Amino acid sequence: MESLESAYGILFTGVLIVLAALILLCLLRAIIGPRTADRIVAANMMGTMVIVMIAILTVKLGEGYLADICLIYAMISFLAVIVLTKVYMGVYLEKKEKDEKAAASRNREETTGDGQTQDGSAQSLQDGSSGEEVSDGNI
């Protein structure tokens, strides 16, 4: 029976060490990832591996309540992906909208000429605020 216990210990310790190394590689991917989506994917993978580590500790230590922590960690990891995605997409769309408005008003001022600068700027402001359809609420 003792050999079985030691076999369980060796297996769990080895798997935990391998998963820790993989989490470090995930962190490396998150650091060097050239785009934002790379970093979010790496964070998601780290969450998955931490879930497996907590589940292994559940069986290794024989503590049933760690399974609840595992489940809640899965939910929080999912929520983190949703929130990060929404935030980055909202920031991007807002910046794009602002840039398009600035470009449109600049174009109108150039085309209307120098004689009626006040009228032209007022008109361009109105047009810029009402005429431009930027997005269809895709957030």
Partner 1 sequence: MEIFEWVRFLAGAAFLLAGVVIFLIEMAGVFRFRYVLNRMHAAAMGDTLGIGFCLLGLIVMNGLNVTSLKLFLVIVFLWFSSPVSSHLIARLEVTTNEDGEKQYQVKNLDQEPQESGGKEEL
> What is the per-residue binding string for partner 1 in 99-138, x denoting contact by CB under 8 A?
---------------------------------------x
For position 55 contacting partner 1 by CB under 8 A, the verdict is: yes
Among 27, 44, 100, 104, binds partner 1 (CB under 8 A): 44
Cβ 90 to partner 1 shortest distance, Å: 10
Among 20, 31, 59, 125, binds partner 1 (CB under 8 A): 59
The residues near 104 (Cβ < 8 Å, ≥ 6 apart) are 124, 127, 128, 132
- The stretch among 39-47, 102-110, 113-121, 126-134 that binds partner 1 (CB under 8 A) is 39-47
By the 8 A CB rule, do 66 and 93 touch? no
Give the whole-angstrom CA distance, residue 9 versus residue 137. Answer: 53
Place of tokens 């997409």: 89
Burial class (CB in 10 A: 0-12, 13-18, 19+), 15: middle
Residue type at position 124: S
- Measured from the CB atom, the residue of 89 and 103 that comes closer to partner 1 is 89
